[in-house]
């Protein structure tokens, strides 16, 4: 178990980093939202979910592009910005803000437009699932071993075999093109495409992203979707009821 004091200190460091991110986004007119557990924490706890250990942000792809342009200069020591745009071997397809080399504080997720055509959006998700696995094997990323049985082993073997036929840059370029597949179109849904949840669970109605409100988060306030109740209900169901105690544990620490 992570000692409570260590987790709390980590959370407070993440909030301090978040204040810098928020100031940079306001300065440059970049729109973002707290999403997932961080949005839930803002609504239910006015801060971190007590056992959570990072802050999750979402940005539509156009806003994410603006953030990529300013992040290397806006995020200063002791914080470090990591993304494939500055390091092609970084093993996640999101952006991360770290303290030092390995203490993850903030994850920045691109919110990607989903096609209104059911077959095309299933293709978008399939590309994300398969090609990202091949790319991670190509850069030498080690997948977590499943706790029970051998579930996932065929995927790892197939990804390893396919990785021999492509360069890292080709795979990464293909994934980034998949993100932009519906850019420039009006769509009804976006998706947190690199989430661990399903496409259906992570689909976000376009109108939910039109407006935000700032909610208290620890000793600061950050934006969430104005329709946060609809968003959190879609993602978690009865989100005001905490999960069973055995599920209350940090993910990254």
Model confidence at 150, in pLDDT bands (50, 70, 90)?
very low
Model confidence at 144, in pLDDT bands (50, 70, 90)?
low
Least confident residue range of 86-100, 146-160, 203-217 = 146-160
> CA-CA distance, 142 to 224, in Å (whole number)?
34
174 closest CA partner among 146, 135, 202: 135
> What number is the average pLDDT over the span 7-13?
95
C-alpha separations of 55 from 40, 109, 195, 237, 252 in Å? 11, 11, 14, 21, 11
> CA-CA distance, 171 to 62, in Å (whole number)?
22
Q: How far apart are the first and last CA of the chain?
A: 10
54 closest CA partner among 93, 19, 103: 103
Please give the pLDDT value at position 89.
Answer: 84
Model confidence at 34, in pLDDT bands (50, 70, 90)?
very high
Please give the pLDDT value at position 142.
Answer: 66
> What number is the average pLDDT over the span 135-152?
63
| Domain 4-112+205-247 bears CATH identifier 3.30.70 | no
Please give the pLDDT value at position 1.
Answer: 47
Please give the pLDDT value at position 143.
Answer: 57
Model confidence at 155, in pLDDT bands (50, 70, 90)?
low
> What number is the average pLDDT over the span 27-46?
97
Please give the pLDDT value at position 167.
Answer: 87
Number of CB atoms found within 10 A of residue 213's CB: 13
User: Domain map of the chain by residue range?
Assistant: 4-112+205-247, 116-181
97 closest CA partner among 130, 129, 71: 71
Residue 76 phi/psi, 5-degree rounding, is: -115, 160
pTM above 0.85, yes or no: yes
């Amino acid at each position: 178990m992570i000692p409570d004091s260590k987790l709390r200190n980590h959370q407070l460091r993440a909030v301090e980093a978040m204040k810098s991110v928020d100031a940079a986004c306001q300065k440059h007119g970049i729109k973002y939202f707290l999403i997932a557990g961080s949005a839930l924490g803002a609504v239910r706890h006015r801060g971190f979910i007590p056992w959570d250990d990072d802050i999750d942000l979402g940005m539509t792809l156009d806003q994410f592009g603006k953030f990529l342009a300013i992040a290397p200069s806006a995020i200063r020591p002791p914080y470090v910005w990591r993304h494939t745009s500055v390091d092609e071997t970084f093993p996640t397809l999101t952006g991360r803000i770290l303290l030092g080399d390995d203490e993850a504080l903030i994850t920045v997720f691109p919110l990607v437009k989903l096609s209104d055509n059911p077959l095309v959006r299933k293709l978008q998700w399939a590309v994300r699932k398969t090609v990202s696995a091949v790319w991670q094997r190509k850069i030498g990323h080690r997948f977590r071993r499943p706790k029970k049985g051998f579930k996932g082993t065929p995927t790892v073997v197939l990804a390893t075999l396919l990785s021999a036929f492509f360069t890292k840059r080709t795979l990464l370029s293909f994934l980034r093109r998949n993100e932009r597949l519906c850019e420039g179109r009006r769509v009804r849904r976006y998706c947190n495409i690199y989430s661990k949840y399903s496409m259906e669970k992570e689909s976000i109605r376009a109108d939910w992203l039109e407006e935000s409100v700032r909610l208290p988060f620890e000793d600061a306030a950050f934006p969430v979707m104005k329709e946060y109740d609809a968003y959190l209900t879609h993602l978690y169901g009865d989100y005001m009821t905490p999960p069973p105690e055995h599920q209350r544990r940090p993910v990254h620490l």
